[in-house]
């Protein structure tokens, strides 16, 4: 396990040990962080769209310019 994975595991275990109310407070704080929320939304979009066919950048830019 690499250092970042180990650190993530420690935080996850600590989070799981919290009461339901404490976990809710942590999540609320995370969601108030604009940068974190934007990253979370990006991850959700990537997960939803990962099986969509890709297209060349030139095609996207040409369609956007219309």
C-alpha to C-alpha distance for 29 and 22, rounded to whole angstroms: 11
What confidence category does residue 65 fall into, taking pLDDT thresholds of 50, 70 and 90? confident
Domain-embedded: residue 38: yes
pLDDT the model gives residue 41: 97
**Using one digit for the tens of pLDDT, what is the confidence trace for 3-32?**
999 999 999 999 999 999 999 999 999 999
Start-to-end C-alpha separation, the chain: 49
- Tell me, yes or no, whether 36 lies in a domain: yes
Asked, for residue 12, whether it belongs to a domain, the answer is: no
Structure tokens that stand for 48 in this block: 């939803």
How far is it, in rounded angstroms, from Cα 29 to Cα 37? 10
Q: From CA 65, how far away is CA 59, in angstroms rounded?
A: 10
The conformation of residue 15, written as its DSSP 8-state character, comes to: H
- Domain annotation covers residue 57: yes
**The pTM of the whole model exceeds 0.75:** no
Q: What percent of the chain clears pLDDT 70, i.e. is strictly above it?
A: 98
Per-residue pLDDT, averaged over 30-46, amounts to 96
């Amino acid at each position: 396990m690499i250092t970042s994975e180990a650190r993530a595991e420690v935080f996850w275990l600590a989070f799981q040990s919290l009461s339901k109310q404490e976990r809710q407070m942590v999540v609320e704080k995370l969601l108030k962080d604009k940068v974190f929320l934007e990253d979370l939304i990006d991850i959700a979009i990537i997960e939803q769209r990962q099986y969509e066919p890709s297209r060349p950048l030139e095609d996207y830019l040409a369609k956007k310019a219309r």
